[in-house]
Structure 1
Amino acid sequence: MRIAISGHRGLPADTVRLVDDAIRAALAECDAGRLTGISCLADGADQIFARAVVDLGGALEVVVPARRYRDGLPAESHPEYDALLRRAVRVHRLDFVESTSESHMEAGRFMLDKADELYAVWDGKPARGYGGTADVVAEARARGLPVRVIWPEGARRD
């Protein structure tokens, strides 16, 4: 089972806990020995999902949207990004230099090409910018790829 993740960034601490619990509950339905998680490792949902995959014994594949992608992430997320990147069994690096909406959407498409299902940590609202979660969900649905929306009761965005 190959599962890609798309989801909100900048989640408040209480929402991080709710999302982490919900992702782990969803992943518990999978056979960890056959599980591969696919993530761009952005702060928020991407890192929560990737950490859960690794903790449960699954394999992690990382998609790096651009050479300067890490530079665009909040500094406080760099240690977890680096730790998870070291745990990846495979790293796919796209040809973009700058981390832009275009590179993020292309990374979303790339993940969907490799996935059997998409987990979307999503409040159901339109994307705040091109390449956001809503856009990746729409692309997955247009392809007929199963989408599991994860937005637990009490979750909120900043």
Structure 2
Amino acid sequence: MPVIAVTGHLDLAPATSRAVRTALDALLDPYPAAELTGVSCLAPGADTLFADAVLARGGRLVAVLPGPGHPGPGATAAERAAFDRLRAAAHRVVALPAPELGPAAYVAANEHLLLLADRLVAVWDGGPGNGPGGTADMVAAARAAGLPVDVLWPPGSTRTGRRAP
């Protein structure tokens, strides 16, 4: 049973979100629903799009939460609603014990994702990232661990520049 984890940008422009969802659907298409497990931190943007794509196919979702305050105080009402919906739909929820959200919590969550995964999907523009726990850091860790990495960044994709919650 393939276990596919996700990492990616939080600040996808609306048109990019639609293009990424189409690309995710195509990437997941070869996997029979009964054999598909997706692993996500349920963050806004790429994580949420991936989790929705896995569930829409009938796959199983494992949520790895970096800490008890996830998705964070800066999350919008829509982001919180999506998080709550996906957490409720998850087959399993792994809540890590970080006392507060920050780089160390995100690094720990990424490490846990990689321990569970056979493959990583990165919704990533290829940029240097925001340091430990970010998308670029996760891609580098997956590659160092020998995991296959599928980078999705459809032509014309853009980011909004909004900071993560």
Which of the two has greater helix per residue? Answer: 1
1:3 aligns to what?
4
1:71 Cα offset (Å): 2.7
1:61 Cα offset (Å): 0.2
**CA RMSD for the aligned pairs?**
0.9
1:151 aligns to what?
153
Distance 1:42 1:71 in 2: 9
Residues 137 and 72 of structure 1: CA distance in aligned 2, closer, same or farther (over 3 Å): farther
Instruction: For 1:75-90, list aligned pairs within 5 A.
Output: 75=76, 76-90=78-92
Post-superposition, which runs of at least 4 consecutive aligned residues in structure 1 deviate over 2 A?
Answer: 70-73
Residues 43 and 73 of structure 1: CA distance in aligned 2, closer, same or farther (over 3 Å): farther
* Percentage identity across paired residues of the two chains: 44
Deviations 1:127-146 (A, max 9, x none): 12321000000000000011
Question: SS state of the match for residue 124, structure 1?
Answer: coil
Confirm whether residue 100 of structure 1 aligns to residue 102 of structure 2.
Answer: yes
1:105 Cα offset (Å): 1.2
Letter in 2 for 1:69: H
2:142 aligns to what?
140
**What stretches of structure 1 of length at least 5 have no aligned partner?**
none
Letter in 1 for 2:62: E
2:129 aligns to what?
127
**What stretches of structure 2 of length at least 5 have no aligned partner?**
161-165
1:73 Cα offset (Å): 5.0
Confirm whether residue 51 of structure 1 aligns to residue 52 of structure 2.
Answer: yes
Question: What's the TM-score, normalizing by structure 1?
Answer: 0.97
1:63 aligns to what?
64
Residues 116 and 73 of structure 1: CA distance in aligned 2, closer, same or farther (over 3 Å): farther
Question: What's the TM-score, normalizing by structure 2?
Answer: 0.93
